[in-house]
Chain A
Amino acid sequence: MRTREEELKGLGADFTFGFIQVMDGEKDPRNLLVAFRIVHDLISRDYSLGPFVEELFEVTSCYFPIDFTPPPNDPHGIQREDLILSLRAVLASTPRFAEFLLPLLTEKVDSEILSAKLDSLQTLNACCAVYGQKELKDFLPSLWASIRREVFQTASERVEAEGLAALNSLTACLSRSVLRADAEDLLDSFLSNILQDCRHHLCEPDMKLVWPSAKLLQAAAGASARACDHITSNVLPLLLEQFHTHSQSNQRRTILEMILGFLKLQQKWSYEDKDDRPLSGFKDQLCSLVFMALTDPSTQLQLVGIRTLTVLGAQPDLLSSGDLELAVGHLYRLSFLEEDSQSWVAALEASGTLATLYPVAFSSHLVPKLAEELGIEESYLARGDGPTKCSRHRRCLQALSAISTHASIVKETLPLLLQHLCQMNKGNTVAGTSEVIAVCQSLQQVAEKCQQDPESCWYFHQTAIPCLLALAVQASMPEKEHSVLKKVLLQDEVLAAMVSVIGTATTHLSPDLAAQSVAHIVPLFLDGNISFLPENSFPGRFQPFQDGSSGQRRLVALLMAFVCSLPRNVEIPQLNQLMRELLELSCCHSCPFSSTAAAKCFAGLLNKHPAGQQLDEFLQLAVDKVEAGLSSGPYRSQAFTLLLWVTKALVLRYHPLSSCLTDRLMGLLSDPELGPAAADGFSLLMSDCTDVLTRAGHAEVRIMFRQRFFTDNVPALVRGFHAAPRDVKPNYLKGLSHVLNRLPKPVLLPELPTLLSLLLEALSCPDSVVQLSTLSCLQPLLLEAPQVMSLHVDTLVTKFLNLSSSPSMAVRIAALQCMHAVTHLPTPVLLPYKLQVIRALAKPLDDKKRLVRKEAVSARGEWFLLGSPGS
């Protein structure tokens, strides 16, 4: 057929008939696949079928629905799904089969077998792509009856989904057909049938059939603009009326949720003419209904109201400015509801979405209210009032950041937040650490929202960063009266919060603008050049690298946040000096916070530096520093931290020196003093940082670095474990479990047979961190590699049961989760243990902790079902 199409077609319908005779009675799935393809070609390439259309249909449709299970060890690899799809391609390839196929499909949808139902509905769905009104006309009532029955009665979500999809395609097909002028439009009568059968169920919001009915109507309405219009104009007035007829909150919620579904469908169709939009006539009713929902005491109804408001807002030109003002007022009120209501979260989210569409409404009606609120909070904070006020303060900050979704709003909210932060640190206000952190978090969220728009991004950067640096520098100045409140800014947590603001505000800068900024900030730290800070009359000099004040050294963290987030191609002035100063500070005997910040900053820069002589020099300096520090003396732990971060920087970029440094780190596992820290260091090496060495911050992070680290180092770790003296063995296990834990499971599976014995040994390790990490490593393996794991079922069951009475609650929970996961192993392997396990699991059912009992219940329940009928 591929090469002699002309000649074969010349044979006319005889060829088709001959083929039908050959194909008749075929059973081998390999031949069937070929035969189905030939039939498909006969039809699609327009071979003459002559009078044999029905015969051709019979000879293929007798295989429908496909019921084929490939034999085990089938060498041909033909799956049931292959046959289903190729037969479906044939059956749905031509409208000429319609009169034979549609009755067959109706019959099979009505069958008892789930797979037959699914296949029939999917095939019907496929047919609708080529059929028209003519083919469907006579079968619509029976098709609708079958689909309706399936959706109303089924227990299977898949049948329901396929039924709805088929109804959607049917309606789309009817909507699309071009009609002769005199023909009756079947779409209208079909939709009227659906409405007639479903409408009345919508009036019973407590009953089971309400949702299936709504889903059917929505599936039909989702097919075309015409269908949507027809159904919405019928259903919406009914639902609006029903909302008022029913007074209970949960009934109203169901009704509003249905309305929401219909409104969402509107978004699929764009109406060019404003007056054509079917919703405009219902706008006022819908708004008043939504506002009723928003003022209802039921949280659930509020939540649906908020979602409906968002959808209404997304309709172009629907809401008037008066509606918006009311809406903003409601959102403001909801944003300050109590903590346990979920409405405030939803209200903030909706505010963010709507603010992008209606920035003016939010600027004029919400920002002033929030500014006023913030002023009141400042005065409360000044008086040192209790926690209730604090939560209002938080909410206000969250609202400000939530609505900063539009450039024009950011220009109002950012100055407000910064001014607030300055106020909190001025003279008489006593701000708690957590309040300052809350402002920083809010700033960080605003920064995140600005990232995508270059202009807002630069606006945020050049407004916020000098202000934050000025505040921090001010706080680090030596003062006569050591005011407590200024020191708040220098605390670890507050600085960490500022670090994330600065990082977020820097990563998306264009290289040009970033270069402008770096020319100010590096000299600030190296030379104390404060000229670009907004308020720069300080009582002393700022020399974080030279002077002895520990407060100033802590601010190196802020430098780190900035330089480690810059795009890679931005040149850093005075780099050589900067790197040396950082190295010096990293091993200096000051507070761990500043030496770690210096080490991280050094590592961050190292990771991005292009290979070459300068990089090698930096590395040599670092290695010398580390070795000098590790050899002896008071700086061992600082030198270790530096080693760890430098190693991480190099591992991430596959630098050749990384293996050498990793070996050094591994050597420290048996160090009596640093061993445990070295073990935990493996966790840092394998995990993702949030502040430096991140992909978002343009660090060089190779995608496969974990796999590579695993292949390069795990054999050595295992050897080290076997060779190590008893007392340091746990360090090796801990290091290993950190590596395994972070590894993608597909990489781990092939390595499992060699490592499993070690992991099982790790389960007996008394360290609860090792236990926990090993359990969380084994749990997914039980689900994904049941065959390998079932070889060790005896050990696994025994050890998990032992750990289920561990003193640590987290270990007990993890062990019971593993006991649950064990049930995924092949049942015959488990049955010998069933009684013993069920008996043993009775004990954790009486655990003193509820969370443990919960896991015990679900594990024990599953064990009961093993090998039992009906499971």
Chain B
Amino acid sequence: MVGGGGMGGGLLENANPLIYERSGERPVTAGEEDEQVPDSIDAREIFDLIRSINDPEHPLTLEELNVVEQVRVQVSDPESTVAVAFTPTIPHCSMATLIGLSIKVKLLRSLPQRFKLDVHITPGTHASEHAVNKQLADKERVAAALENTHLLEVVNQCLSARS
């Protein structure tokens, strides 16, 4: 599903990318500390789940590379839907599917089952946008990808806390 080239210490596709600032920890509000008040799942909460995912190539997070942004997260808690658009750093990035898969897996592991997930490329930012979106939307292909030990390993590395 993903061309694994570029890994293993070869030349980086984009050696000197633009770096964006990391947002701070979400401040804890009085309402969040109150036992009684329910806090609904909002865009910032979803963004916090995915912003610290590691880029497969750089020692940087998806947030620092601006691959994910809070404004590109749509969420409706009552309707149990989440839509995330991500932006590859360059239009021919061979890592796009892998990044999308990492985001998808992270959300699958972190959100209640009731949510319907949609992870796709920000329109017009990648050469093979439709092909990638189609793969990410196909449940069976995602499941099959995760059966592949090599892919699962790379996804897990992206999702591991930085040592």
Q: Which chain B residues numbered 7 to 61 have a C-beta less than 8 Å away from chain A?
A: 9, 12, 15-19, 21, 28, 32-33, 35, 38-39, 41, 45, 48-49, 58-60
- Please indicate the chain B residues that have their CB under 8 angstroms from the CB of A210 in the complex: 19
Taking a contact as CB atoms under 8 Å apart, the answer to whether A208 and B16 are in contact is yes
Q: Is B152 an interface position by the 8 A CB rule?
A: yes
In the complex, the answer to whether B17 meets A870 with C-beta atoms within 8 Å is no
Say yes or no: is A756 at the interface (Cβ < 8 Å to chain B). Answer: no
Binds A, one of B67-75, B92-100, B106-114, B130-138: B106-114
In the bound complex, residues from chain A placing their C-beta under 8 Å from that of B159 are 861, 865
CB pair B110 A845 closer than 8 Å: yes
B125 CB within 8 Å of chain A: no
CB-CB contacts below 8 Å: A193-216 with B: 201, 204, 206-210
For the complex, is A857 an interface residue (Cβ under 8 Å from B)? Answer: yes
Checking B19, B38, B110, B156 against A870 with a beta-carbon cut-off of 8 angstroms, the contacting residue is B156
Other-chain residue from B9, B18, B106, B149 in contact with A869 (beta carbon distance below 8 A):
B149
* B:106-146 near A, CB below 8 Å: 106, 109-114
Distance (Å) between the CB of B69 and the closest chain A CB? 15
Chain B residues with CB below 8 A from A809, complex form: 35
In contact, A849 and B32 (Cβ under 8 angstroms)? yes
Known contacts A208-B17, A208-B19, A808-B35; A861/B155 CB under 8 A = no
Q: Is the CB of B39 within 8 A of A848?
A: yes
Answer whether residue B76 sits at the interface, using C-beta atoms and an 8 A cutoff: no
How long is the Cα–Cα vector from A210 to B18 in the complex, in angstroms? 10
Instruction: Tell whether A451 is near chain B: CB-to-CB under 8 Å.
Output: no
For B112, list chain A residues within 8 Å (CB): 842, 845-846
Query: Is A871 in contact with B160, judged by CB distance below 8 angstroms?
Result: yes
A153 contacts which chain B residues (CB < 8 A)? Answer: 12, 15
Chain B residue with minimal CB distance to A210? Answer: B19
Q: What residues on A are CB-neighbors of B111 within 8 Å?
A: 845
Q: Which residues of B contact A853 (CB under 8 A)?
A: 41, 45
A850, B49: Cβ atoms closer than 8 Å:
no
Bound form: Cα–Cα A102–B17 in Å? 33
Given A865-B156, A869-B156, also A848-B38 (CB < 8 A): yes
| 0/1 string, A854-871, CB within 8 A of B gives 1 | 100100110011001111
Of B9, B38, B59, B106, most buried by chain A (CB within 10 Å of CB) is B59
Given A851-B28, A857-B49, A871-B160: A846 and B152 within 8 A (CB)? no
Query: CB of A112 within 8 A of chain B?
Result: yes
| A155 contacts the other chain (CB 8 A) | yes
A871 B114 Cβ-Cβ under 8 A: no
Does A425 lie at the interface of the complex (its beta carbon under 8 Å from any beta carbon of B)?
no
Contact assessment for A850 and B152 in the assembled complex, using a CB-CB cutoff below 8 Å: no
Are A849 and B110 closer than 8 Å at their CB atoms? no
Shortest distance in angstroms between B161's beta carbon and chain A's nearest beta carbon?
Answer: 8
Tell me if A868 and B109 are in contact (CB < 8 A).
Answer: no
Q: How far is the CB of B150 from chain A (nearest CB, A)?
A: 8
Q: Are A850 and B35 in contact (CB under 8 A)?
A: no
List residues of chain A with CB within 8 A of the CB of B49.
857
Leading 10 A-B pairs by shortest Cβ distance: A870-B153, A870-B156, A846-B112, A155-B59, A869-B153, A848-B38, A850-B39, A857-B110, A870-B157, A845-B112
Q: List 12 A-B contacts (CB under 8 A).
A: A206-B18, A208-B60, A210-B19, A809-B35, A842-B112, A846-B112, A848-B39, A861-B106, A861-B110, A868-B156, A869-B152, A871-B156
